[in-house]
Structure 1
Amino acid sequence: MATQRVNITLDPKVYEEFCRIAGKKGIRVSTWINAQMIEFIEEEKVIEEYRRKKRSE
């Protein structure tokens, strides 16, 4: 799988707190963001499909 590097802007306090909590569980920021993006995409696809079905009724 190819990866792409991107820059993101985070609130420093939020980032520090995330790192403190996630570090104990072995979670990295990039892994967590990737999982959240996949979840978001899946949810949006479900919503789009629902809207398409609703329009065709």
Structure 2
Amino acid sequence: MSQSVYGIDLAKHSFSIQGENHQGKVLIHKTVSRSKSSLNFVNIPPTIIDMEARETS
């Protein structure tokens, strides 16, 4: 079974989401608000999600 990978860059008010399939084809690349971020993952099959957060001063 091929698995997609999604990366999320966490910010205070928005998330940048990028997803690729097993061949490297971009499935999604967009910025969404925190409140709408989960809507992007409701209908996708099981996948790997990598999160990144940075502290800002």
- Normalising by structure 2, report the TM-score: 0.23
User: Structure with the greater relative contact order (CA < 8 A, sep ≥ 6): 1 or 2?
Assistant: 2
**Greater share of strand residues, 1 or 2?**
2
- Normalising by structure 1, report the TM-score: 0.23
- For the pair shown, which has the larger CA radius of gyration, 1 or 2? 1
